Amino acid sequence: MRAYRLLTDEDTAAFCHKVTEALARGWELYGSPAYAHDPATGRMRCAQAVVKDVPGLYAPDLKLGEL
């Protein structure tokens, strides 16, 4: 099965660490990152999709962050 996650956070080092941790756990970048202004907070937000091939079948209760 191919798992998909969309990592998001404010434009800080924490976002970069979140993506780096996913890469270290075997996730691969999927597509280009996105960068947008959040008018509710007045801050910039980042998003990056990642994918990972894992054994087994999809289940709605799958904890993607634990793969």
Between CA 56 and CA 48 the distance in angstroms is 24
Residue 66 falls inside a structural domain:
no
Q: Which domain holds residue 15?
A: 2-57
Residue 67 falls inside a structural domain:
no
Residue 29 falls inside a structural domain:
yes
pTM of the model: 0.88
pLDDT of 29 reads 98
Total domain count for the chain?
1
51, 44 contact by CB (below 8 A): no
- DSSP annotation of 3 reads E
Helices (H), 1-67: 13-24
pLDDT of 65 reads 86
Within 2-65, strands assigned E span: 2-10, 28-38, 43-53
Residue 63 falls inside a structural domain:
no
pLDDT, tens digit, 9 for 90 and up, residues 4-52: 999 999 999 999 999 999 999 999 999 999 999 999 999 999 999 999 9
Residue 23 falls inside a structural domain:
yes
Residue 17 falls inside a structural domain:
yes
